[in-house]
Structure 1
C-alpha cells in the first residue's frame, strides 16, 4: 500500500471513531474546565504529549492550566480539576496521581478506552474514547495503526474540539489567544 493510502485509511478511522464520543460528557467536561480554579493534565508517552498540547491551548485562553510533573506545576487544591489521559486506565505512574488528587479534594476526569480500569474507578467522570488498546489480538479492533495510535489521535482531536467550544463560550479567537503565545522563541 502507498503512503497516501495509509493516510486515507487513518483519516477514515478517525472519522468513524471521533463521532462516538458522547456530546453530553464532552459538554460536562467543558463546564468542569470553566468552573475549575486550576486544571491539571496528566498522561505518559504519546498520550501525555496530547495532554501537553491541550494544556498549552488552555494557557493561550487564559485558563490556569498545568502539566503534572513539570517543574512549574502549581499545587492541586480543592476545587481543582485533574484530567488523566490513559488508554488502558492502568498506567502505574498515573494511579497514585489520581488517588492523591482525590484525597486533596480535586475532581478527576479519565479520558480512556477503559471505564472498568483502576483510573476509571477513581474518576468522577469518564470520557470513553474510541480506539484500540496497545496490546490486542489482530483483528479485534478496526484499526490498521500500531499500538495506541488511534486513541492518541482521537484524544488530540477531542482536546482541540474542547478548546474550540471554550473559545466559542468565552468569545475568543486565534488573534485574542495569540497575545498569550510564547514570544521568546
Structure 2
C-alpha cells in the first residue's frame, strides 16, 4: 500500500512542477473583487470548479457556479473560468464560445493547450495530469484522477495568492464560512 501512496504523491509532484507560475500570476492579476467570476466544469472537473467558487467566496469574491439555480446571467466583462481535462468537453466548449461572444474574459484549465477550449482562452493554465483521453504525465490512477488532483491544488494556489495579495487571513475567511454546520 505504501508504494501506491508514494507513487501517487510523486505523480502529483511531477505535474505541479510543470505548472507555469507566470500563467497563475496572470490569472491572479485578472481576478478582482469588483468582477463577477463564473466557474464551470463537467463531472469531476465540475466538483473542482464548485470547490474553487466556494474558496473564492470565503475570501470575498463574487463567484458563481454555472448550472446552479441561483446563478445570475453572465454579462460582458465578467470572468469565465472553465475546467476540462481534455479541453474538448462539448458542453463546456459550447458555453465558452457563447460567453466569448458576450465579451467575457475567459480563463481555462486544461491538460492540452492546443485543445478547442484552450484556444478560446484569454488565459490558459496547462495542468499536465493524465486524463481519460490524454496521457499527459503518466499515471497509475484511473481516468482523470491525476488531472483532478492537480487542478484542485492549482486552484488552491490561486486562492492562496489572492488571499496573500488581499491580506486575507484564515480568521477573515472563517467569518464567511458556513455557521449552520
Please indicate the TM-score interval, normalised by the length of the shorter structure: over 0.9
Q: What CA deviation, in whole Å up to 9, does each residue of 1:91-110 have, x standing for no partner?
A: 01111210111111101111
1:107 equivalent in structure 2: 105
- Contact 2:38 2:65 survives alignment (8 Å): yes
**Distance between the aligned counterparts of 1:77 and 1:136, measured in 2?**
33
**Distance between the aligned counterparts of 1:13 and 1:25, measured in 2?**
21
**TM-fit CA distance, 1:30:** 0.4
Secondary structure, counterpart of 1:39 in structure 2: strand
Secondary structure, counterpart of 1:82 in structure 2: strand
TM-score, reference length from structure 2: 0.94
**TM-fit CA distance, 1:35:** 6.6
Secondary structure, counterpart of 2:18 in structure 1: coil
- Contact 2:81 2:107 survives alignment (8 Å): yes
TM-score, reference length from structure 1: 0.92
Task: Indicate which of 81, 84, 87 corresponds to 2:85.
Answer: 87
**Distance between the aligned counterparts of 1:136 and 1:81, measured in 2?**
27
2:117 equivalent in structure 1: 119
**TM-fit CA distance, 1:135:** 2.8
Task: Indicate which of 164, 170, 176 corresponds to 1:174.
Answer: 170
**TM-fit CA distance, 1:126:** 1.1
4+ residue runs over 2 A deviation: none
Secondary structure, counterpart of 2:38 in structure 1: strand
- Contact 2:33 2:62 survives alignment (8 Å): no
Query: Quick check: 1:149 aligned with 2:145?
Result: yes
Cα RMSD of the aligned pairs, angstroms, is: 1.5
In structure 1, list runs of 5 or more residues that go unmatched. none
- Number of aligned pairs? 181
2:154 equivalent in structure 1: 158
Distance 1:171 1:35, change over 3 A: closer
In structure 2, list runs of 5 or more residues that go unmatched. none
